[in-house]
Amino acid sequence: MPALRECGTYVAMRQVILFNKPFDVLSQFTDRGTAGTPRPTLSDFIDIPGVYPAGRLDRDSEGLMILTDDGKFQARISDPRHKLSKTYWVQVEGDVSEAALDRLRRGVVLKDGPTRPAEAARMCEPPDLWARQPPVRFRKTVPDCWIAITLREGRNRQVRRMTAAVGHPTLRLIRARIGDWALDGLAPGQWRRA
């Protein structure tokens, strides 16, 4: 059910949309790129006027996005000062050691400075995981594994840079949760009202 918000002398309904962004989709409604062929955007999946994404998810990442028509609510979700947790399922190259997970938990130093401590743990491949198109590169001689990482900040490509800093490049990245909102059975390209 949409949330209520005060709007002058009346109460308006706030729209909150949960969307499972597929791989290779831009997290905006228009493609401002210079390529001759337009790339897929949110408008290919969501036809609700007046809603905008609360935060970004890179084109090569998948998973949960929140869209809303409430600017203050949008800023609160996306602003790192509010420390809203974001949980990612990350398929990484190599077999992650406890020492590498400890480095992620303490925070790692990136080119733009140290990260805040994160929650990090090994996990099984997510249940009911959808196939990605194109598939993740598979190499017989290089193992991979899944980890769950929860952050309370949001730098550009932060999860990818953190896993690379501990020697495990990211192969696939899925945002599973933002605060209390979760994917919970949303298939790629599907959305629902929160």
User: How far, in Å, CA of 121 to CA of 111, rounded?
Assistant: 24
Domain range enclosing 44: 13-80+182-193
Catalytic residue list contains 58: yes
pLDDT at 8: 54
Domain CATH for 105: 3.30.70.1560
Specify the CATH number for the domain of residue 54: 3.30.70.580
Q: Would you state the pLDDT for residue 3?
A: 54
Neighbours of 139 (CB within 10 A): 9
* Active-site residue (options: 24, 31, 44, 58): 58
How many domains is the chain partitioned into structurally?
2
- C-alpha to C-alpha distances, 19 to 74, 152, 177, 178, nearest whole angstrom: 15, 20, 11, 12
Task: Specify whether 61 is located in the same domain as 90.
Answer: no
pLDDT for res 6 = 54
Q: What is the pTM of this model?
A: 0.90
pLDDT digits (tens, 9 = 90+) for 52-78: 999 889 999 999 999 999 999 998 888
